[in-house]
Structure 1
């Protein structure tokens, strides 16, 4: 990854990798971020937008970051970490879909609009998430309006598979609508972009892109290492495909149940998801 006139800053980061598999990630500071973005997506890499005045923030981690990562590892049972001090980070999953962490300031919105052609932002955070990190969400929403980005919210509780399962249908309905509008890319984010946001993207790919769950899961995680709750996606799939009130519960079915779906089930799911638009 090269950018003309840039100074590279390279660090060993567990940002989106297990601690035992640290990878070198190159982040460039330049007056030409468009070139950086283009280069960074030639291969599966994470694009990091460092706070302009916090280049030295890699020296140690904040208490909030440490607390968040401890909770994530305990409740999600995966080794991935989020480092707020590194700024917004994201990954292009398909030509129409980006998955990432929370925008932290209005300049992040300008970057997404100008450099990534983002026309829709789907925010999965609860108000408590936003408050925890001290994000000025009203200013971010206002900036979205000013630059022509449609900002949508479908809150789900962090680290909670049941909340994610219940929220997936409505979240995917918003994402599917945004992508079908075709006016620009959709940016899906939660806090870290490691759980809720990739789960919504995977569910969309599973339900609307003619993939089975394993294919969709691998397609996303091969580009953005993360650990979304697979069972929550299966559960939401089961809920949407259920056409018999007496159908045996998901917990009594084999682990592979609803890893794939029949054509009639996919059509039923699509119809039910689309019917949730605007609700």
Structure 2
């Protein structure tokens, strides 16, 4: 679905300090930059009124948006060590990973939920954002949740801190638990998102594919990133795998293990991981 007219999204930066990085307090619009021909971006955009008054009122916000865009993407490139950028003004974008799983950026308005329901048969939305992420981008989350209820879409939240591999590691088991449950229900596709759909959301999808689909970590990682170019933390996924598979008091610290440890697991370890993840349902 293409953009509708000129898009305009107002972003509120309410938390100027995240993970020790100063973020500018102004308004922003951003877009996702990926290698050409890598995947088809689905876009939902709001239409800007053509009145001269409204365009004049937004001109200063547009000029300020470049600084805010650079701030956010500079942080993402440094903390995640990948070349990708999030550009909010292109609207929601996503990629179909499996027949049951979609990974993308945040829905920005109720109409995005309508699109997911009508065009993609989405029955579940798994949101990995913290409250301050939503506030940062000026998204009206209550209106999105309300629309989900009206369309009988189950909206779930498993917050993890952005640009924080340790937070992602600790949150992966519960997030994958929600994802695995939703897929097992079989009522429709599951839409997993964070803010940009480049870190937390793909990590959850990759962990699910690793733990429940019989893939090793690298196969799951390559499968997803071939469809949605992004750079989620392999270390966070490896760490979460280790936490689930080696839960005895005798275990050695994960940090002391070889660099590629827990990129694959034995069948008995995968069964243990699956049992532990399923036990987290409803927590």
**TM-score normalised to structure 1 length:** 0.84
Query: Once superposed, what is the RMSD of the aligned Cα atoms?
Result: 2.5
Contact 1:54 1:85 (C-alpha < 8 Å) held by counterparts? no
**Structure 2 contact 103–202 (Cα < 8 Å) conserved:** yes
Deviation at 1:175, TM superposition (A): 0.2
1:23 maps onto 2:33 in alignment: no
Partner residue of 2:200? 196
The equivalent of 2:232 in structure 1 is 228
Question: Retained in 2: the 8 A contact 1:16–1:225?
Answer: no
CA distance in 1, matches of 2:47, 2:107: 14
1:172 equivalenced with 2:176 (yes/no):
yes
1:207 aligns with 2:211: yes
- 1:45 counterpart (40, 46, 53): 40
CA shift at 1:54, angstroms? 8.6
In the TM superposition, residue 155 of structure 1 has moved relative to its aligned partner by: 0.2
| TM-score where L is the length of structure 2 | 0.82
Q: 5+ residue gaps in structure 1?
A: 25-42
State the number of aligned residues. 250
CA distance in 1, matches of 2:71, 2:223: 30
Cα 1:14–1:131 change in 2 (3 A) is: closer
83, 91, 97: which one aligns with 1:93: 97
| 1:65–1:83 contact (8 Å) kept in structure 2 | yes
Deviation of the 1:201 alpha carbon: 0.2
CA distance in 1, matches of 2:49, 2:70: 18
Structure 2 unaligned regions, length at least 5: 7-29
- 1:1-279 to structure 2, matched below 5 A, reads 15-17=32-34, 22-23=35-36, 44-53=39-48, 61-279=65-283
